[in-house]
Structures are given as structure tokens and as C-alpha cells.
Amino acid sequence: MERIFDAHAHTYPKNLAEKATRRLGEFYNFRVMHEGTVEDLCRTSAEAGVSGFMILGVATGAHQVRNINETISAEIHAAREKGFFAYGCAAIHQDTEDFAAELDHALKLGLTGIKLHPDIQSVAIDDERLLPLYALAAERKMPVCFHMGDDRPEYRFSEPQRLARVLDMFADLTVIATHLGGWRAWDEAKTYLAGRKNVVFDLSSVLWAMEPETAEALLRVFGVENVMFGTDYPVISAKDYISLFDRLRLTERERRAILWDNASHLLGFEG
């Protein structure tokens, strides 16, 4: 039986999930298919045969950071008690007063990396306010997970070339470039991110947006050994996204690398 790790999921407290998923759908003009709670994530993951997942936090204000991260910590520990390989990336905001203190607190909470959503947070990847954060993340060996790409002219905060500038400045920084390096900006992602050291990509919200042949070509460009499976739950369930993944023409070794081994190597778990 294949082992599957979902490297890209978002959850919200029960009392906020309906509002949060509605706003997410409005921002991207698509239908969010699931409720967005950790209970639903665990249920749909188990139904799909997913053994683990990484929950990614997003903060739209600095005042939210501590509460979001403590919530994610509680969720991943609860999921581990149910038998999942559960990990979390801490939310952070560009206006956070003390990056070092928040990162250290996130590590104490058991969180693994940092998540930034430049377009929702209205901050460019290469904004000077974030440069100290990247230096601290590199020192603490915390990967930074970026939402990447958008085809709308008003949302160019997460352009692949902006990430390339950051990578030029921080050679020791490990980066997760979601959505195969640039949602609907894949030509730019190929130009600026292919072959980059310390960059891992994920497949989230890609496979329903392009033909299988296009996805296969991008996997060859970035290297199968550098790509993790991810769903973007609650946008879509693991079961439905695995069905899309199954359309790709991959060898057993390539499937295993994307579905499990690459995440296992990055996050340091076995199973």
C-alpha cells in the first residue's frame, strides 16, 4: 500500500471555519469543497489513505500570530494521537515586532517551519521587512513555505522572480515553493526557480488547473526528487486530489518520491 503525505493543508477553529473558507473562495473565485476543520482533515485524510499532513498557518495581522500557532500546535498533537504523521508551519506576519521570539515560541510548540502568503498578506516576498526573518529561519533551519504565483495584476507579491532574489541573498535558506513554484505563473517559475538549490516544490492546487501532460512536463523541469504531494485542503479533498494525481504517467519510484519520500526527507520522519 502506498504511503501518502499531504504537504499542504489549512485548518481553522470550528467557530471560524465557515467564514474563513468562504473568504478564501471569494479571494480566489472558486468553490472551497470542505469545511476546513482539523477533524474534517483527519477524516478525509483517513478515507483517502493519507498517513500524514502538514498544516500551514496564515496570519493577516501580527496580533493573530501567537494564537494561530498555538492552535496549529494543538491540532497537530491531537492528530498525532490519532496516528497521523502531523506537522505544522507557523504563521508569521511582516509587522511582527520580534521575529526571533515568535520563531522560538513556534519551535517550542513543535512547529517545523514558517508559512507566508504574500498575496493575502499584501507583502512582497522580497520586501525588506522580511529579510531579517529569512536570516533567522536559516539559522534555525526552519523551511519557509511560500504561497507562489497569481495571474491577476493586482496580486504580484509572490512572483517567482521575487523568490529568486531572496534565494540569491540567503544561500542557506530552505524554501517550499507551493503550487509548483507559481500558481498560473508556471512559465515564470521555470525561468527563475528551476535548478535552484534548497527549493522544494509542492503539487497543491495544480492538478485541477492544468492538463496531466503539462504537470508531467513541469515535474521533469523541477525534478521529481524536488516535488511533494499536497492537496490545498480544504479547497479539495485528498481522495479527489489523489484521483487527479493518478492520471500522471509516473514510475513507481517517482510516485513514491512525490507521495512520501521527499516530504520524509525534508521533515525528517520515517514510516
**Domain containing 163: what range?**
5-267
Q: Model confidence at 270, in pLDDT bands (50, 70, 90)?
A: confident
Please write the tens of the pLDDT for every residue from 109-138.
Answer: 999 999 999 999 999 999 999 999 999 999
Label residue 15 exposed, middle or buried (CB < 10 Å: 0-12, 13-18, 19+). exposed
H-only helix segments in the chain: 14-28, 38-48, 65-81, 99-108, 118-121, 131-140, 160-169, 186-193, 212-222, 238-245, 252-256, 262-267
CATH number at residue 228: 3.20.20.140
**What's the total number of domains in the chain?**
1
Please write the tens of the pLDDT for every residue from 198-229.
Answer: 999 999 999 999 999 999 999 999 999 999 99
Please write the tens of the pLDDT for every residue from 69-107.
Answer: 999 999 999 999 999 999 999 999 999 999 999 999 999
